Amino acid sequence: MLLIIRKKACLIICAVLLLSTILYSARKILVYHNNTLLTVTTEEGTRKDYIKWVDFNVPYKALHHALILDVQSHETDTPISWIELLAYVSAKNGNNFKNFKEKQLDEVAEFLKSGKTIEELTKDMKYYDYYYQAYDTILSGFVGEYEIEVPDENGEGKHWERRYGLKVFSPIAKTFPYHHYDDFGNSRSYGFKRIHLGNDLMGQVGTPIVAVEGGVVEALGWNQYGGWRIGIRSLDSKRYYYYAHLRKNFPYRKDLEIGSIVKAGDVIGYLGRTGYSKTENVNNIQQPHLHFGMQLIFDESQKECNNEIWIDVYQIIRLLDKQRSEVVKDPETKDYSRVYDIRECQDLLFD
Ligand SMILES: [Zn+2]
């Protein structure tokens, strides 16, 4: 269930760094814009702006509809970005989607189709840039052109097909049952008082877990809270995906190690109930589930300690439910692997 390891040492280092920043350099100025942007002016006079907090409130209905508008317009003269549409609506709604209607997105899309630019539409919107930056960081790896294997019509083989659309996957492999609800921010009882910074997907032990987005395996091993867990950083390094409570004795795909590169839709491990123990390989979670979390990193200083930004991924998981990776078990190794491979432009970098 939870993910942050608040090691004492980590806290002490953070406190010392913070204190020395304040005491040492009087010229360092911290400016808060509506509690969202942090501007640091360093001694050398260079400015560094980055977002320091994001409340991701966009509901499934808005994500889904914006995605449709993006995909439908892709091959037209006026391709529309779902990220721009969502940022526009959030800036307009003040991040409140209680009265959201799909037609709000349709209206912006119509303006853009008629030749207006997003800059014209948003020039008086104070927070458009903030939402655009935030949503671009969350969603920039989600949609694009890719090639995927699909079954031949006669059902005997498979072939590559070029597509544009959602290219990320549900963390739960195809046909394996799971259920979940929006549990972000709920309180947790194990250890110190803390809140839940992800989404728990309840399922059966051994369910193959799939990489949502491709990236580099940055963490793999035991931690007191997450049990056997995997952390994967997106290739643009802005997103960190956290998969925790993996299966006792056989938590990961056997060939995975720190530094391995995975693709979206690859099997990475297996659902379990490990965690809540300082001793490795212990099942202390009552209900088997995958804890899935997504951290945003606008600046490397936000990766650890008290500057972490975790977003509510519940609505995202709902969106990803349409895209589940089909897997097959190797009877000898007992490992699962994907049936239909995927290729992205990014992959060329690593060939
Ligand atoms: Zn959890």
Distance 201 CA to ligand 1 centre (A): 8
**What protein residues have CB closer than 5 angstroms to ion ligand 1?**
1, 198, 200, 291
Tokens for 165, please give them. Answer: 């659309």
From first to last of the 351 residues of the chain, give the pLDDT tens digit.
444 445 555 455 545 444 444 433 333 333 333 345 544 444 455 556 899 999 999 999 999 999 999 999 999 999 999 999 999 999 999 999 999 999 999 999 999 999 999 999 999 999 999 999 999 999 999 999 999 999 999 988 999 999 999 999 999 999 999 999 999 999 887 777 788 999 999 999 999 999 999 999 999 999 999 999 999 999 999 999 999 999 999 999 999 999 999 999 999 999 999 999 999 999 999 999 999 999 999 999 899 878 899 999 999 999 999 999 999 999 999 999 999 999 986 544 444
CB 343, CB 211: distance < 8 Å: no
Residues paired with 292 in a beta bridge: 199, 243
Q: What is the pTM of this model?
A: 0.86
List, for residues 147-180, the tens digit of each pLDDT value.
Answer: 999 999 998 899 999 999 999 999 999 999 999 9
State residue 344's pLDDT score.
Answer: 83
Distance 89 CA to ligand 1 centre (A): 30
Contacts of residues 285-288 at CB distance under 8 Å and 24 or more positions apart, as own/partner, are 285/1, 285/227, 285/245, 287/202, 288/202, 288/203, 288/204, 288/205, 288/245
Rounded CA-CA distance 173/210 in Å is: 6
pLDDT > 90: percent of the chain: 78
Distance 302 CA to ligand 1 centre (A): 21
CB 274, CB 227: distance < 8 Å: yes
State residue 8's pLDDT score.
Answer: 55
Backbone angles phi, psi at 115, to 5 degrees: 110, -5
Distance 255 CA to ligand 1 centre (A): 26
Rounded mean pLDDT of the chain? 88
Distance 117 CA to ligand 1 centre (A): 41
Distance 253 CA to ligand 1 centre (A): 21
Domains, the chain, in order of start with CATH, read 27-55 (no CATH), 60-139 (no CATH), 178-350 (2.70.70.10)
Provide DSSP, 226-274: TEEEEEEE-TTSSEEEEEESBPSS--B-TT--TT-EE-TT-EEEEBB-B
Distance 197 CA to ligand 1 centre (A): 7
